[in-house]
Amino acid sequence: MSNPLSWTEHFAVGHDAIDRQHRQFLEAINEIDQAIRAGSDAEQLAPLVQALRLAAEEHFRQENAVLWQIKTGTFRRRSSKALPRRAVGLMADAEFDKHTAEHAFSLAALDDIARAPLSAILDLLKSWFVDHAIRHDSHLKSIFQAMS
């Protein structure tokens, strides 16, 4: 039997809206977990997986917009003690194209997961989320830390 995903600060990047969306991903994945445990079939899971994909699209749009704002110097900073705006902008500039490309791959991965055998969906979703929140967003976390 699988274990639900629990929030940990390892999933946080230091931006309230993005972290809130990461928590919503956990809730959606845990809802899918509950549905599987209750005996739902692939047809019954499809709307839940589709809702997760739509949430991921919105989340990626938000991440891209925030990264763009940092890159262009229009993001509101929390601290005057942070790295100079130019330095943080250069960090975001170096990350922007790669990060947005990773989002396209992540959405394609969700599409693949939706077509996976029912027995594999939950583990694949958990891996997808952890890969996104920790590996891909570690660069965002570094940028937000540099800004605080």
- The structural domains of the chain, with segments of one domain joined by +, span 16-147
pLDDT of residue 89: 63
Residue 123 sits at φ, ψ, to 5 deg, of: -65, -40
CA–CA distance, 24 with 62 (Å, rounded to integer): 14
Confidence grade of residue 106 (pLDDT, cut at 50, 70, 90): very high
31: closest CA among 18, 50, 12?
A: 50
Q: Phi, psi (5° rounding) for residue 2? A: -80, 160
133 confidence band (pLDDT: 50, 70, 90): very high
Question: Helices in 73-135 by DSSP H: which ranges?
Answer: 85-114, 118-130
- State the architecture of 16-147 in CATH terms: Up-down Bundle (1.20)
- pTM for the full predicted model: 0.86
